[in-house]
Amino acid sequence: MANNKRKCFTCDREKNTYTCEGCSKRFCFIHIPEHHQRLNEELHHIVDNYNEFKERINKQKKSSQNYSLIQQIDRWEEVSIEKIKQKAKDCRKMVIGSLQTYINDIETKFNNLNKQIQQLQIQNDFNEINLTYLRNQLRTITEELNNPLNISIPEDPQSFINEISIILSKKPKFNKWKQDAIIVAGGNAEGEKLNQFYHPEGIFIDKKKNIFVADRFNHRIVEWKYNAKEGQIIAGGNGLGNRMDQLNYPTDIIVDQQNHSIIIADWQNRRVIQWLNQKQQILINNIDCSRLAMDEYGFLYANDYKKNEVRRWKMGEYNEGIVVAGGNGQGNQLNQLNSPTFMFVDEDQSVYVSDRGNHRVMKWRKDAKEGTVVAGGNGEGRNLNQLSSPEGVIVDNLGRIYISDFGNHRIVRWCEEKEEGEVVVVGNGEGIQLNSPSGLSFDDEGNLYIGNYTNHRITKFEIIL
3-state secondary structure of 283: strand
Confidence at residue 147, expressed as pLDDT on a 0 to 100 scale:
74
Confidence at residue 173, expressed as pLDDT on a 0 to 100 scale:
64
The pLDDT profile of the chain, 465 residues, written as one tens digit per residue, is 445 588 888 898 888 888 888 888 888 988 889 888 888 888 888 988 888 888 878 777 666 556 666 777 788 888 888 888 888 888 888 888 888 888 888 888 888 888 888 888 888 877 877 787 788 888 888 877 877 777 777 877 666 676 667 666 655 567 889 888 899 999 999 999 999 999 999 999 998 999 999 999 999 999 999 999 999 999 999 999 999 999 999 999 999 877 778 999 999 999 999 999 889 999 999 999 999 999 988 899 999 999 999 999 987 777 789 999 999 999 999 999 999 999 999 988 999 999 999 999 999 999 999 999 999 999 999 999 999 999 999 998 888 999 999 999 999 999 887 899 999 988 755 556 688 899 999 998 889 999 999 999 999 999 986
Question: Which has the closest alpha carbon to 427: 126, 134, 181?
Answer: 181
Confidence at residue 272, expressed as pLDDT on a 0 to 100 scale:
96
| CATH number of the domain located at residue range(s) 177-464 in this protein | 2.120.10.30
Residue 204 to residues 106, 273, 380, Cα–Cα distance (Å): 27, 17, 28
Q: For residue 404, give every residue at least 6 positions away whose Cβ sits within 8 Å of its Cβ, in sequence order, or none.
A: 342, 354, 390, 391, 392, 393, 411, 437, 438, 439, 440, 450
Q: Phi, psi at residue 252, to the nearest 5°?
A: -160, 160
Confidence at residue 4, expressed as pLDDT on a 0 to 100 scale:
58
Confidence at residue 2, expressed as pLDDT on a 0 to 100 scale:
47
Question: Which has the closest alpha carbon to 230: 276, 278, 182, 192?
Answer: 192
Confidence at residue 322, expressed as pLDDT on a 0 to 100 scale:
94
Confidence at residue 125, expressed as pLDDT on a 0 to 100 scale:
77
Map out the domains of the chain as residue ranges.
5-58, 93-169, 177-464
* 457-461: strand order across its sheet: 182-186, 457-461, 448-452, 437-442
Using CB atoms within 10 Å of the CB of residue 240, give its burial: 0 to 12 exposed, 13 to 18 middle, 19+ buried.
middle
Confidence at residue 148, expressed as pLDDT on a 0 to 100 scale:
72
Confidence at residue 18, expressed as pLDDT on a 0 to 100 scale:
85
**353 touches 364 (CB < 8 A):** yes
